[in-house]
Every structure is written in C-alpha cells, then in structure tokens.
Amino acid sequence: MGICPRGLEESGRVINRKCEGLPLAIVIAAGLVKNSLSVAWWEQIASSLRSFMVSDPRQYLDSLALSYNHLPSRLRPCFLFFGAFPEDYEVSVTKLTWLWIAQGFIHETRSRMLEDVAEDFLMDLIKRSLLMTQRIKSDGQVKTCRIHDLLHDFCLRKAEEEIFLSNNYRYGMLSSMLCFPLELGKSLKEGGSIHIDKYKFLKILDLESILISVFPLDAVHMVNLRYLAVQVHDGSPHASISKLINLQMLIISSKKNIVVPKTIWNIFNLRHLYIKSGENLMEDGCPSPGALASLQTLSQVRPRSCHDIFSRTPNLKKLGFCGPLISSLGDLEFPNLGALGHLQKLKLLNTFPYAESTRSCNPIMFPEKLKKLTTSNTGIDWKEMWTFAWLPNLEVLKLKFQACVGERWETGDAEFRKLKVLKLHV
C-alpha cells in the first residue's frame, strides 16, 4: 500500500468525504487523481469533484445502468423517485415511504402493512449503497436519507428515458419536491385557485413548504389525490373533504387550532392523519363500521374528543394527544387505550396547568405492545413512574419539559426490562 504525500493529505480527505462512500464515486475520483501528484490538481478536484464527475457522463452512466438493471423490478420506481427531490435533499423516511405508497409503488405482501413493506424496500436500497442514511433516530432506526449527486443525475436521466411518472413531469414535479406541483404552489400562495381539469389526475399535492391562508377548498375535487400536505394559517378542513375517497395521507400544519370534521371518517382509505401543531378537536360523531380500519397515525388531537374513535381503529400504530391530560383531582387522564393492540408510539402533551405534582394512571390504560412513550408538561411525581416501569415492551421513554417533578427518582432492578433509550429534558 502506498503512502499519500503529506501535501496531498488534506485534499485527499476532502475528496474522500465528497465521495460519501459511493463505490462508483470513489473509482471515478481515483481515476482523476491517480496520474498526477500535483497539489494544485488535487485541490482543484477537491473543490469541484462533482463537476468533474458529471462532465463526462460516459464514465459513470454505464456502471450505474448496470446496477440499476440488476435491481428487482419492485425497487426501480422507488429508486428513480429520488429524482423528484432537489440535489442533496435530505428526506424524511416517513415522508418518503408515504409518498412511495401514494404513488402506488408498494403492494401488500400477504398480511403485511404497506408501510412495513416500504421500510424493507428502503433498507434494501441502503444495503445496495444506493441510499445514504443522514440521521438516525434514538432507537437506531433511519430518520432521514438522501442519494449521492451522481445517483441523482442518473435518476433524472433514466426517469426521462423511461418516461417515468410522465404526468408528474408535465406538472413540473422534478423542479422541486419541496413544493409539488411548483406552479400550483405559487398560485395558491398568491391567492389563486386550483384548475381542476389540469390537476384532476394528480395523486400527490404537497404544499408544506409554503404558507397559505385557508385550507384549499378546491382540492376536494381532486378525487385521485392520495397524499395531501398543507401549511395553512387556518387549517380546518371543510366537511366536503370526504369527497377525497382515495386519500391515504393527510398532513396539516396550522397556525390555529383546527377542527377535524366528522365526515373525514368517510374516507375509508385514510391511513395517516398527521396534524403537526396545535391542540385540535375531533368533531363529535361516531364513525360507521369499518371506516377507520386503515388508520395508523393520529396526532395532536384533544383526548376528550376521541372517545368514540379507538374502538374502531384496530391498526392504529402512532397516537399523539395534545390537550388537558390532568383531572381536577390531579390524575393523569386520557381515554383507555388498552384495546389498541397494535399501538407502538404514544405522545402525551398536557396543556392543563396543575399547581402540584400529579399522579399517574393505571397501567391497563396503556396497550401491551407500546414501544415508545413521550410525555411533556404532565408534572408527574417521580414516585408515580412505576406505571411506566412495568410496561412490558417499552423501549424508548422521552420525558420532556416538566414531564416529571421532584428531587429524586428511585428505580428497582426489575423495572424497565426492555428499555433501550431514556431521554430526559431538564
């Protein structure tokens, strides 16, 4: 093995870092520097590596095409979909898998959920060095990922070659996934309306990156929508949202607390209702049988507005309460979740101030499969932590602002048997 001349070490480290572990990038970079030990040349490569790489597509397209052709057919559209994002864009794994599902790339395998199959696809692409993990969750799962610039360039070329997602090309999807479609986002931001005839076949409407005044009423006529994400000053959907019979994911960021109309439960395909902010109310009304069978995510909702829901959500996996969680007697209080056999993640954000330390609830209120629990502003006395200590499958416990109060927390050896992550916010 050769020794790198001292004057080239710094540039060599920069080049190595910019290759980001992609084998093909390393090979190309090595070809660029191997015949010259000039410090100036190495510095030039280090500062403009990508420009050198993409200046002659022939040196990488054939190799990438070979890797792509060896991909199982089920993974190809998922990989090419990365061309829809800007270069160097770090995408949330949750968002990515939801978008794959909305596009119809993921199909159920026997009794497995689409989301579980999508996660397998993601890990397969990572193992093949086609995706890079950027951030990792506290429990070790991948939180965000992205692709190398060379792969992004290849995705764009290959997608165009195969007329991949042709409708999305027509609507400018590949200009920026930060707002899709880009021209529609600009129109709505300026107070314009949606031309339904132009977008009637659209499956994804992602307006999270821009702030609009009210929930876009015209969107309810886009009956092919499967994924709808908005950032709104007043995010309360109109009752007519039930017209979106194919909607699977609804993501709302709102400056005001919102009211979710009871008609939303007529969307039988809804899998994720993800409200990112506020203390939000579920409108009274008992869902019809089977209406919530697909629901897996429900977040940022007032606990007292959900009593009629949980007996009809057999597949709910993620739940977040935001609202009064402390009774007038100082007890932690929320609907009994014991029947939610698949619930794995629960967030409790209390908005009711209580002057003294509070008492926890009976452990039977929690589902047996619960793995992740986050509490905030609950003011629970440390002595009451036994409630959480005996949850049989708890792996992650996050105690955020004023989650617990007191001077000392004493635990026994037999408590928290499966806990892997404990996060304390002082």
Calculate helix-pair angle for 39-47, 23-33, nearest 10 degrees.
150
Phi, psi for 349 (deg, rounded to 5)? -115, 110
Say how far apart CA 219 and CA 228 lie, in whole Å: 9
Q: Which pTM was predicted?
A: 0.86
The token duo for 13 is: 């480290």
Total H helices, total E strands in the chain? 13, 17
Instruction: Evaluate whether 93 touches 107 at the Cβ level (below 8 Å).
Output: no
Please name the residue ranges forming H helices in 162-313: 166-170, 182-189, 196-199
Say how far apart CA 307 and CA 335 lie, in whole Å: 6
- The SS3 call for residue 421 is strand
Please choose, from the candidates 219, 212, 214, the residue with its C-alpha nearest in 3D space to the C-alpha of residue 240. 219
Judging by DSSP bridges, how do beta strands 404-405 and 380-381 pair with one another?
Answer: parallel
The letter for the amino acid at 241 is I
Say how far apart CA 151 and CA 81 lie, in whole Å: 11
Judging by DSSP bridges, how do beta strands 345-350 and 281-282 pair with one another?
Answer: unpaired
pLDDT digits (tens, 9 = 90+) for 183-201: 787 888 887 888 888 888 8
What pLDDT, on the 0 to 100 scale, is given for residue 85?
87
What pLDDT, on the 0 to 100 scale, is given for residue 396?
96
What pLDDT, on the 0 to 100 scale, is given for residue 14?
81
What pLDDT, on the 0 to 100 scale, is given for residue 169?
40
Q: pLDDT below 70 — which residues of the chain? A: 1-3, 24, 31, 35, 50, 52-60, 163-179, 426
> If you compute the radius of gyration of the chain from its CA atoms, what whole number of angstroms results?
25
